[in-house]
Amino acid sequence: MRVVEKRQLLSAKEIDRTLHRLAHEIVEKSGGAKDLALIGVRRRGVPLSQRLAKLIGESVQAEIPVGTLDITLYRDDLSTIGPHPVVQSTDIEFSVDDRDLVVVDDVLYTGRTVRAAMSGLFDLGRPRRIRLCVLVDRGHRELPVEATFVGRTVETSDTEVVEVRLQEVDGEERVMIVDRVP
Amino acid sequence: MLQRLSHLLGVETLTREQINFILDQSKPFQEFQRHPLKKLATLRGRTVAIAFFEPSTRTRISFTTAAARLGADTMALQAEASSLKKGESLIDTVRTLEALRPDGIVMRHSSSGAPEFVAQRLEVPVLNAGDGTHEHPTQALLDALTIRDRKGKLEGWNVTILGDILHSRVARSNIHLLAKFGARITLCGPAMWCPPELECLAPNLRRTPRLEEALEGADVILVLRVQTERLHEPALAPEEYIRGYQLTPQRLKLAHPEALVLHPGPMIRGLEIDSAVADGPQSAVLEQVTNGLAVRMALLYHLIGGAAADAPHPAKERPNASD
């Protein structure tokens, strides 16, 4: 199996602009930032949630709490994959009870990660509301899940992969569509 | 790449990398114990056989709770309830157990090597919960996690093990584990419980019958349980043991001021340990209990999880399914 880059979806500049817009939308649709907190899904949802929290915080002049969620233990495919994936820590320092949470991830695909993230959050308490923010929505849902805040929607085929590269994780900054050819 | 474990039979054969991996993987489960809702669905539909051919309360409850918190079901097989007393052989008991199709077996047995015997004959992962005087690997791992958490690292400590070393699988597993991390180990106890053969267990290991000498400069003190039934073979009066070996606040002062006190439980206050030490700031006995849950959850997750033997189809490639 070879992986071929087909095209770039977002440049570093476009990612930055998209995040500014998403931060703005979150504030606007939340009627401020009261009780608002962001939850980044490991791995690439984490830097995205931190950047968004900073942008939102600057616009509303308040500190926005950010947490990190590892969904490994909540996956529904553990019995079909080989060796178990390594469990990372979940770091949510604040109580999620009655919070207005925005779950942040890089790509929305089948919806299963989001399902797992919601199960994980419910184990921590009872949020007042959970919404979803993704950088890219690539379609192919297998569950009735939609994002409230979407950076870019893109049509993809089954064999394509949306690769998000972020400075904090990958040392470069762009989003591309790659294809896996046999 | 880390060599994947298929059983946990002892720590002697584990590499440092495998031990570090297990301890690292226990961290998320430590934090999980603080969740208001302590129930995962990760091992839903899996069954863990808890086969204890020797009485135990703590380890059995710890493993049963760990399995329950991962969402697995357990079936308990206990010495009193089993057919062992009716003369059934170990292998027949285990084959019967296997016919019930568990996804993993947690096993305690009074014969050293019994879990290995079973592991060689059955397809399912076997976790040793203590076998004879051989090993008690999960105890050593939870002790290691406690040391690493409280003292910041696992490497290079002066460790004193106190009590009936000869009959203690906890001592053996701890010696094997800590020696891999460069510990200088001192064994201390009445001569009959601390024979010279023990010196071959690890390098940098010394023995002394004198408690004062053993405690000097100790960074970690592992107090073993005194099994009162053993105090008679040969006769050693409890008062004599208390006089010579009880860990008291005065004696603890001989150790490093920040020395950590561990005890695998159940403690007999007033025999091997003074209450003031057991409840003091240097004691980590309750953290040991909680860490035991975390370590056992991590092990059950990695050994029993993964592809089930009867998984319907192999891994389907899933781009973007999750990182």
CATH for A11-75+88-158 is 3.40.50.2020
Nearest-Cα distance to chain B for A102, in Å, is 18
Nearest-Cα distance to chain B for A170, in Å, is 13
What number of residues does chain A have? 182
Query: Is B321 inside a domain boundary?
Result: no
Same domain (yes/no): B178, B112: no
Set of chain A residues whose Cβ sits within 8 Å of the Cβ of B29: 87
Read off the CATH number of the domain in which B249 is found: 3.40.50.1370
Set of chain A residues whose Cβ sits within 8 Å of the Cβ of B296: none
First to last CA, chain B: 18
Same domain (yes/no): B196, B105: no
User: In this complex, which of B25, B37, B313 lies closest to A80 when CB atoms are compared?
Assistant: B313
Name the nearest CA neighbour of B223 among B256, B198, B178, B260.
B260
Cis bond before residue A43 (omega within 30° of 0): yes
B65-92 residue pLDDT tens: 999 999 999 999 876 555 556 677 787 8
For position A37, what pLDDT does the model report?
97
Set of chain B residues whose Cβ sits within 8 Å of the Cβ of A161: 319-320
ipTM associated with this complex: 0.78
Same domain (yes/no): B57, B47: yes
Same domain (yes/no): B173, B268: yes
H helices of chain A, where?
12-30, 45-60, 112-122, 167-170
Residue pair A100/A39 in contact by the 8 Å Cβ criterion:
no
Same domain (yes/no): B202, B117: no
Taking a contact as any Cβ pair under 8 Å apart, which residues of chain A between 148 and 177 contact chain B?
159-162
Cα A168 from Cα A177, distance rounded (Å): 20
Same domain (yes/no): B171, B196: yes
Same domain (yes/no): B83, B219: no
pTM of the model: 0.87
Name the nearest CA neighbour of A154 among A181, A118, A180, A178.
A178
Interhelix angle B285-304/B16-32, rounded to 10 degrees, is 110
Cβ–Cβ gap B312/A80 under 8 Å: yes
Residues of chain A by 3-state class (helix, strand, coil), percent to 5:
30, 30, 40
Name the nearest CA neighbour of B184 among B212, B147, B218.
B218
CB contacts < 8 A (A, B): 88
Sign of the four-CA dihedral A87, A88, A94, A98: negative
Same domain (yes/no): B121, B241: no
Find the domain containing B200 and state its range.
137-284
A43 touches chain B (CB under 8 A): yes
Cβ–Cβ gap A81/B301 under 8 Å: no
For position A12, what pLDDT does the model report?
97
Cα B136 from Cα B167, distance rounded (Å): 12
Q: Domain limits of chain A?
A: 11-75+88-158
Same domain (yes/no): B118, B224: no
Looking at chain B, the whole-number percentage of residues with pLDDT higher than 90 is 72
Query: Is B275 inside a domain boundary?
Result: yes
A2 touches chain B (CB under 8 A): no
First to last CA, chain A: 4
- pLDDT tens for chain A, 182 residues long, are 788 888 999 999 999 999 999 999 999 999 888 999 999 999 999 999 999 999 999 999 999 999 999 999 998 887 676 667 888 888 898 999 999 999 999 999 999 999 999 999 998 999 999 999 999 999 999 999 999 999 999 999 999 999 999 999 999 999 999 998 87
Same domain (yes/no): B126, B178: no
A78 touches chain B (CB under 8 A): yes
Kind and range of the H or E element at B52? strand B47-52
Set of chain B residues whose Cβ sits within 8 Å of the Cβ of A89: 27-28, 31
Same domain (yes/no): B278, B150: yes
Same domain (yes/no): B105, B141: no
Q: Which pair of structure tokens corresponds to residue B145?
A: 């996690």
Structural domain tally of chain B? 2
Summary mean pLDDT of chain B: 89
For position B37, what pLDDT does the model report?
83
B221-261 residue pLDDT tens: 999 998 776 666 666 788 899 999 999 999 999 999 999 99
Strand partners, A152: A136
Nearest CA in chain B to A91: B31
Cα B247 from Cα B269, distance rounded (Å): 10
Query: Is B6 inside a domain boundary?
Result: no
